[in-house]
Amino acid sequence: MAEKRDYYEVLGVDKNADDSAIKRAYRKLAKQYHPDSNPGDESAAEKFREASEAYAVLSDPEKRKAYDTYGHAAFDPNSAAGASSGFGGFDFSGMDMGDIFSEFFGGGFGSSYGSSRRRSNMPEKGANIRVGLRISFDEAIKGVKKTIKIRYKDTCKTCNGSGAKPGTERQTCPRCNGAGQVRMTQQSIFGTIQQVTTCPECHGEGTVVKEKCPDCRGEGYINTEKSMEIAIPAGIDDGQAIRKSGGGDPGRNGGPRGDLLVEVSVSDHPFFKRQGVNIYSTEAISFPKATLGGSTIVKTVDGPVELKIAPGTQSDTRTRLRGKGVPSLQNPNVRGDHYVTLVVETPKKLNKKQKEALKAYAEACGEKVD
């Protein structure tokens, strides 16, 4: 059996730490390693148990004094130290761990230690439905309406959502007597622990169905498919989602429906790149135009635009087209800019006349070319 670590080391505190420092250290570890935050992670569960055991000792003045004197032997019923300290092992009989975790977390964890006691009969919002939607680059810039199909849970019309066969009613749960929760006693590393959990019979609802509705089989809802039109706002970006409140699955115990989340994927554009509300593109210009100046037609999301070229423009010069970028989601009347990088293009093939003209230019510059 592995040797137990020092309790102060487990919590990461000094041996002179006061009660508040010990409590803060345990709170941090308990949140990090709680089983509800790490489902199926045995390593996290072990660290959680280790931290809880350390806190159970160091937060109790008498147990802490015994531990400081005898170490882990203070709680070994087979050791002389355990006998002299008065602690023959841990005894947490009758202690409701739910109350301890209420103090720390306010019921923030789902299935363990008392959070179910406060939430078992409470209305719960239904699950969200997530749907993926791919749109084009131009649709993301300008906005678009799309029709999507979703599968969701609709209230059963036969039983009106009760889950009971027509002519019958839901009955009080015989296991929890309608409380939606049961108190269970179990053995743990601490000894005997009382734990309040959601009733496994009625799943916290307080009522059960004896004769199930033949259409929904007692669920109270049926799976169905429907089409829905979604307005995609101008300026939406790749990875963003549109939330439609109440478009998800039904809640429990009278709780509201969840939401519909439409997660948008935007296809790449062959010419444009987007960064936030700005658009970037590259435009090739000829050497004579870069040298002498002129104009060129560039593509934008609003269509072709004439761009003035200043004489002596160097390759990789960037120019800005104000207000030709992406509309802001917060204010559609405000748009980003379009940045065009001008690249001077070197011709790969020249005819005889072009070669002679270019040689004449080189000679005029004092350069010798073949």
What are the extents of the domains in the chain? Answer: 7-110, 122-166+218-268, 273-364
pLDDT band at residue 3 under the 50/70/90 scheme: confident
Check if the beta carbon of residue 207 is closer than 8 Å to that of residue 172.
Answer: yes
Helix 61-70 crosses helix 42-58 at what angle (to 10 degrees)?
100
Point out which residues pair with 305 in neighbouring strands. 298
pLDDT score for 83: 52
Superfamily the domain 122-166+218-268 falls into = Urease metallochaperone UreE, N-terminal domain (2.60.260.20)
Instruction: Please check whether the domain covering 7-110 is classified as CATH 1.10.287.110.
Output: yes
CA–CA separation, 43 vs 261, rounded Å? 34
One fold for both 7-110 and 273-364? no
Query: What are the tens digits of pLDDT across the range 72-121?
Result: 887 766 655 555 555 555 544 334 444 445 445 544 444 444 444 444 55
CA–CA separation, 242 vs 236, rounded Å? 9
pLDDT score for 234: 95
3-state secondary structure 185-208: EEEECCEEEEEEEECCCCCCCCEE
pLDDT score for 117: 40
Q: Which CATH architecture has domain 273-364?
A: Sandwich (2.60)
Percent of the chain with pLDDT over 90: 46
pLDDT score for 94: 38
pLDDT score for 73: 80
CA–CA separation, 98 vs 16, rounded Å? 29
pLDDT score for 147: 94
CB count in 10 Å sphere of residue 337:
15
Joined together, the tokens standing for residue 320 give 């800005």
Q: How does the average pLDDT of the chain come out, rounded? A: 84
Residue 359 pLDDT > 90: no
The verdict on whether residue 365 carries a ligand-binding annotation is no
The verdict on whether residue 173 carries a ligand-binding annotation is yes
Nearest to residue 298, comparing CAs of 279, 278, 315? Answer: 279
pLDDT score for 71: 85
CA–CA separation, 150 vs 263, rounded Å? 13
Please indicate whether residue 300 or residue 195 has the higher confidence score (pLDDT).
300
What are the CA-CA distances from residue 166 to residues 212, 219, 312, 329, 342 (Å)? 9, 14, 86, 49, 74
